[in-house]
Amino acid sequence: MNDGSKKSRRRRSSSLLYQEPQESMEHLSDQAAIPNLNANWVNAKGAWVIHIILIIALKILFSIIPGIQSHTSWTLTNIIYMFGSYLMFHWVRGIPFEFNAGAYDNLNMWEQMDNGDQFTPTKKFLLTVPICLFLASTHYTHYDLTYFIINVLALAGVVIPKLPMSHRLRVSFFSGHPDDRYPDER
């Protein structure tokens, strides 16, 4: 039935998980040529402090809204921080600059930081902050089961992508298969 006038449908894996392949030599040389300004700021002075300031600001914001109880404000602070952290470090791929010939286009910010090395001081800090926020949220919600489940799900959503087993691992349910994202590169 395919007469050449229609493009044939490409077969695709039904797997939800896939491993992002390693970069080619061209991408590796592009990455080494110019510093990655997108990920190097996390090692700068004040970069760690901004996380604490954001958490305090979120807590104050939710505490001053009338009708929101303390345990709800802690849970909202936890959820919003975790969502922002996931979005910033694990969802967005590539960099917003065009000076590196697309060398980081298939990496998220977590994978770009510290040249992909695991357990650097910055990555340890960024792994510790959500855990401490979870512990504080759980304590100030008085260990209520409903709030605990909400908080632990938010924590899992942020901590699991930071673990070494998740390095370059993609969930196509959320982000789409790479062949679907770049149809012109076949």
Structure confidence by residue, pLDDT tens digits, 58-83: 999 999 999 999 999 999 999 999 99
What tens digit of pLDDT does each residue of 3-50 get?
444 444 444 555 666 667 677 776 666 666 677 777 888 888 889 999
- Note the pLDDT of residue 146: 96
- Note the pLDDT of residue 80: 97
- Note the pLDDT of residue 150: 97
Rounded mean pLDDT of 174-179?
52
What tens digit of pLDDT does each residue of 148-173 get?
999 999 999 999 999 988 877 777 66
Please name the residues in contact with 119: beta carbons below 8 A apart, sequence gap of 6 or more.
none
Averaged confidence pLDDT in the chain: 81
Q: Tell me the C-alpha distance between 75 and 156, whole Å.
A: 14
Q: Is 155 helix (H, G, I), strand (E, B) or coil?
A: helix
CB 33 within 8 A of CB 43: no
**Taking the model in full, what pTM does it have?**
0.78
Rg of the chain, C-alpha, whole Å = 20
